[in-house]
Amino acid sequence: MYSEKVMDHFMNPRNVGEIENASGVGTVGNAKCGDIMKVYLQIEDGIIKDAKFKTFGCGAAVATSSMATELVIGKTIEEALKITNKSVAEALDGLPPVKMHCSLLAEESLHAALWDYAKKNNITIEGLKEPV
Ligand code: FES
Ligand code: FES
């Protein structure tokens, strides 16, 4: 049912934890299942230097959080905004269709953390919508 990459990121998730004094923190809940994901971003000079996460959720949610943090580290804010749940799922060699909603948490928590960063710094990030 799950690709080897999903299993790997579930069994050995990368970047689990918190960042003290993070530039931006985003917490989102999945309306479909109640699972929760929290993402911390360290941003310097417009580059995402570090990302960590805590996920209270299913295996697919853990694997997508792990992959999303790997994808976002080293990216500019603009590039980070282009990370979608589909691109995270693709990077994991796919998710079972019933588990696609889990990957939405990764996209939404990244966006929420960027929103928090923008708010703290009084800036506007073009194309970023306020998290619901
Ligand atoms: Fe069962 Fe998320 S609903 S782990
Ligand atoms: Fe809740 Fe996967 S079942 S995020």
Complex ipTM: 0.71
Contact at 8 Å (CB) between 49 and 73? yes
How deeply is 77 buried, as exposed, middle or buried, from its count of CB atoms within 10 A (0-12, 13-18, 19+)? buried
CATH 3.90.1010.10 fits 4-120, yes or no: yes
**Nearest atom (ligand 2) to Cα of 34:** 1
Q: Sign (positive/negative) of CA torsion 130, 20, 31, 57?
A: positive
Q: Which residue has the higher pLDDT, 33 or 19?
A: 19
- Lowest-confidence region among 49-58, 102-111, 123-132: 123-132
The whole-model pTM stands at 0.93
Tokens of 121: 């710094």
Buried b vs exposed e over 46-73: b needs ≥16 C-beta within 10 Å? eebebbbbbbebbbbbbbbbbbbbbbbb
The CA 33 to ligand 1 mean position distance, Å, reads 6
In the set 18, 31, 33, 127, the catalytic residue is 33
- pLDDT tens-place string over residues 73-96: 999 999 999 999 999 999 999 999
Does the beta carbon of 62 lie inside 6 Å of ligand 1?
A: no
In the set 102, 105, 110, 112, the catalytic residue is 102
Does the beta carbon of 30 lie inside 6 Å of ligand 2?
A: yes
102 counts as catalytic: yes
Residue nearest to atom 1 of ligand 1 (CA): 58
